[in-house]
Amino acid sequence: MSRHLWFQRLLRVFVPIIFVACSSGRFMEGLSYWRLTYPLNVPWTMVTADCGFAVLVNSSRFPGLIRGEDVLEQLNIEKMRRETLEREIAGRELAETSLRKEIGEVTQRLAFSASRQIDLISSVSEAMMNAIVHGNGGTVNVSHDDDTIQVQVIDNGTGLKWESIP
Q: Summarize the confidence of residues 6-13 as an average pLDDT.
A: 74
Per-residue burial over 143-160, b if 16 or more Cβ lie within 10 Å, else e, is ebeeeebebebebeeeee
Residues 110 and 149 in one domain: yes
Calpha distance 110→86 (Å, rounded): 19
Residues 90 and 121 in one domain: yes
Phi and psi, residue 65, nearest 5°: -115, 115
Residues 44 and 86 in one domain: no
Is 70 part of any domain? no
pTM, two decimal places: 0.43
Residue 54: domain span = 3-59
Say if residue 71 is exposed, middle or buried (CB neighbours under 10 Å; 0-12, 13-18, 19+).
exposed
Residues 38 and 104 in one domain: no
84 forms bridges with which residues in the sheet?
Answer: 143
pLDDT tens digits, residue range 62-106?
A: 555 566 677 677 766 666 555 555 555 555 555 677 778 888 888
Specify the number of domains making up the chain.
2
Please name the residue ranges forming H helices in 110-152: 114-135
pLDDT of residue 37: 53
Is 45 part of any domain? yes
Is 72 part of any domain? no
Is 65 part of any domain? no
pLDDT tens digits, residue range 93-147?
A: 556 777 788 888 888 888 888 898 888 888 888 888 888 777 777 777 777 777 7
Phi and psi, residue 147, nearest 5°: -140, 10
Residues 34 and 87 in one domain: no
Residues 94 and 157 in one domain: yes
Is 74 part of any domain? no
Residues 87 and 118 in one domain: yes
